[in-house]
Amino acid sequence: MQHDSQSWIWFTAINFAISVGMTLIGILVIEVDMATKGFFAMAALMLVSSSISLSKTMRDRHESGRLVNRLDEARTEKLLSTLDDAA
């Protein structure tokens, strides 16, 4: 199983923090009324939330597919060993 390096984990965390910070600063300094700023803030929060949900769902689906493949391979190996023993 592949593990991410500590550098990659730090890079992604810092990248996320910078992008959220830049979005918040942009929302705060834009010259529009508070209702529009609120809408932008809610949209940004929804975007972050849905991105996390999507990435988790895709990862879970990929990992479950890998588990199913391993189970199928184990069944095949067991069947082949049973056939070898019978022959």
- Tens digit of each residue's pLDDT, the chain (87 residues): 678 899 999 999 999 999 999 999 999 999 999 999 999 999 999 999 999 999 999 988 888 777 777 777 888 888 888 877 776
Residue-wise pLDDT tens digits, 16-34: 999 999 999 999 999 999 9
* Distance, CA of 52 to CA of 56 (rounded, Å): 6
Query: What pLDDT shows up at residue 51?
Result: 94
CA nearest neighbour of 27 among 11, 10, 42, 8: 42
Q: Where are the domains of the chain?
A: 6-86
At residue 1, the pLDDT reads: 60
Angle at 47 between CA 39 and CA 12, to 5 degrees: 130
